Structure 1
Amino acid sequence: MRKKTLKIIGIILVVLSGVIFIFSKTKRITPLSWAHNEVNKSMFFATAINGYDPVAYITVNKAIEGDESYSYKWNDATWFFASEENKNTFKENPEKYTPQYGGFCAFAVSKGFTANSNPNVFELIDGKAYFFADESVKTKWLGSKKENLQLSEKNWN
């Protein structure tokens, strides 16, 4: 009876570990102390920031979906743009237009891990785009903006 119970517990632990692993991969959740991607990109296609145009955040303060016909590979990811002009602008200075923390949720980074973000939930601070998973974590993070910026920078670097 004891062997059977241990076997069942072992199987449950293996299945549970698999479920947790799959969940963390699909939600792009990783502790920052582990190796993590520099850019928030899709698991199978390496599409950066869920296919949104990084230049539009800075130039028009809007989340605009990019178009596959205006794509550019940089930093192990494929970036999409709304226009050829935005693509060329990005190519000239990618660091200027790349969202902070690679487009991962800034709230999560302040807590020491990466998490996927919603490209429609962002804040421009000093000409840089910060992404968030949802409005509630954005509000929390902005509530202590100075401290969270410092924490996020410390954790990311």
Structure 2
Amino acid sequence: MGKIWLTRRGLLSLVPALAVRPARAETPLGVPALYGADPLNGIALRGFDPVSYRLGPEPVPGSGAHEFTWSGLVWRFSGAANRGAFARDPEAYAPRLGGCDPEGVAAGRLVEASPLVAALHDGRLYLFRDPERRAQAGPPLLDAAEARWPGLRRDALIGG
């Protein structure tokens, strides 16, 4: 077999690929972005206002004029009041389980969920992969997911 030589030009062509830094919401290979973050811009919940889930039947899009950075992501809000409420207690408004689908978390997997398929259970916001999974979610599933979440979260942050 012939030898493969890496020329100076070939080596220099690799430098830009090594210099590219991942976006804020980028996660280890095969792991979805947490909190429904857009992997291209690091905006949580794909830009929906997390406080709005508690105020009406549908989430409201946030605005670039009302942003707050928490947990390494940019969160957008429809107004200053919602931004202030979130800033005072982000854990109360952010989706549980890092915004991952509870069924996947209960099974030991981080499965991306949709910010448009949400439900409040016992005052906690959960996101689901699809409406069918949301309809089937109940306390046993959510309790199992909550119990499994700390280990999965740790593994996701470490990189598997």
Q: Is TM more than 0.5 here? A: yes
Match of 2:64 in 1: 68
Q: Give the stretch that moved more between structures: 69-78 or 105-114.
A: 105-114
Instruction: Mark the CA change 1:56 to 1:29 in structure 2 (over 3 Å): closer, same or farther.
Output: farther
Does 2:120 match 1:120?
Answer: no
Whole-Å Cα distance in 1 between the matches of residues 131 and 35 of structure 2?
Answer: 21
Does 2:96 match 1:103?
Answer: no
**Counterpart of 2:90 in structure 1: which amino acid?**
P
* Offset of residue 84 of structure 1: 1.1
* Offset of residue 76 of structure 1: 0.3
* Offset of residue 61 of structure 1: 4.4
- Compute the TM-score of the two structures, normalised by the length of structure 1: 0.70
Does 2:135 match 1:139?
Answer: yes
Q: CA RMSD in A?
A: 2.2
- Compute the TM-score of the two structures, normalised by the length of structure 2: 0.69
SS at structure 2 position matched to 1:108: helix
Match of 2:89 in 1: 93
SS at structure 1 position matched to 2:75: strand
* Offset of residue 37 of structure 1: 5.9
Whole-Å Cα distance in 2 between the matches of residues 85 and 148 of structure 1?
Answer: 33
Pairing partner for 1:41 from 37, 59, 63: 37
Does 2:122 match 1:149?
Answer: no
SS at structure 1 position matched to 2:144: helix
**Counterpart of 1:154 in structure 2: which amino acid?**
A
Q: Runs of 5+ in structure 1 lacking a partner?
A: 1-24, 31-35
Q: Runs of 5+ in structure 2 lacking a partner?
A: 1-25, 151-160
* 8 Å contact kept, 2:96–2:124: yes
Q: How many residues align?
A: 124
Whole-Å Cα distance in 2 between the matches of residues 98 and 37 of structure 1?
Answer: 14
* 8 Å contact kept, 1:61–1:124: no
Whole-Å Cα distance in 2 between the matches of residues 92 and 122 of structure 1?
Answer: 22
Whole-Å Cα distance in 1 between the matches of residues 103 and 59 of structure 2?
Answer: 19
* Offset of residue 54 of structure 1: 0.5
Q: Give the stretch that moved more between structures: 53-62 or 65-74.
A: 53-62
Describe the superposition over 1:105-125 as per-residue Cα deviations: whole angstroms up to 9, x where unpaired: 222212211222221211111
Does 2:74 match 1:78?
Answer: yes
SS at structure 1 position matched to 2:39: coil
